Amino acid sequence: MTQPDARASNPGRFQSSRLSGLLVAAHPFPAVLNGFAGGLVHVVAAGRLSPTSLGVAASIALIHASIGTMNDWVGRDSDRLSNPDKPIVRGVVAPLEVLAASVLTGLAGLMGAWATHALPIGLAILLAGAAYNLALKGTLWSWAPYAVAIPSVAVWAFLAAGSTSPWIWASYAVGAAMAVALNLANTLPDLEGDAALETAGLSHRLGERRSQMAAVTLLIVSSAGVAGPALGAALPAPGIAALAIGGIGAWVMAAGYRRGGRAALRRAWFACALSSVGLAACWAALLKGITEVVQ
């Protein structure tokens, strides 16, 4: 006698599992965090919370959800070896469903970018994510898409706030170190699993110990990159805050790396990501202050 299909016997539960699987495939933590960072920078740049702030946050989150689901769709075969808990591998969602979710969230995010006057920036983030997923993830240039996408969050928010200051484009230079730190911290928990796939990304080439040292050092460099100009421009508040955020984040990361284990490595990644949001807010306050002085 054959067993009844779980989908037929309990369709409601299956639908719920499928929706939760799609949510997991979207990589909700980085998607929501990037959206929150964009909304926060917009609030600082505009001087108030507005519907546009929420639109920026939602649009950035949707584009990063598109990148996340694309990542799971592209890597579904390799994930069978290195990430067996992924929704596609477990059969919770079908590959075509994840691909459709990537397309729909990407289009929705681009519509939001257009509505907030930052369509080129939204497209740049989406293309950077696609380049990472399709070509650069396992190469020495795995950090490059991060160097485009991470600073673009701040640029998007300032454009949506109506800023025309040329200083906003300095976000790419200042955010480069933070972007590489995020790339290293994000891949460190997966180094062991990636070994079977012979992946050759930046962290894989550096090795675990050097990648850890580089990630912590780059976070400190990032905080100094914000604090230095802030203190030089007689704007002590964002400068001191940047030093504090970078110092605490680096300490938490170093503690996680000393402890070892996948859970500790994940906590270090979370610390790096949260620090990047704080530094983005400090950078926004600095840019706003410089713009007001110039005007």
Q: Mind listing the pLDDT tens digit for each residue in 50-91?
A: 999 999 999 999 999 999 999 999 999 888 877 788 999 999
Q: DSSP E strands: which ranges in the chain?
A: none
| pLDDT tens-place string over residues 83-135 | 788 999 999 999 999 999 999 999 999 999 999 999 999 999 999 999 999 99
pLDDT of the residue at 278: 97
Distance of CA 8 to the CA centre of its chain: 38
Q: 76 vs 79, 87, 98, 140, 180, CA distance in Å?
A: 5, 9, 10, 22, 25
Which of 12-16, 137-141, 256-260 holds the top average pLDDT? 256-260
Nearest Cα residue to 188 out of 264, 78, 83: 264
Q: How far apart are CA 270 and CA 268, in angstroms?
A: 5
Residue 31 in contact with residue 68, Cβ under 8 Å? yes
Residue 193 banded pLDDT, cuts 50, 70, 90: low
| Average pLDDT value for residue range 276-289 | 95
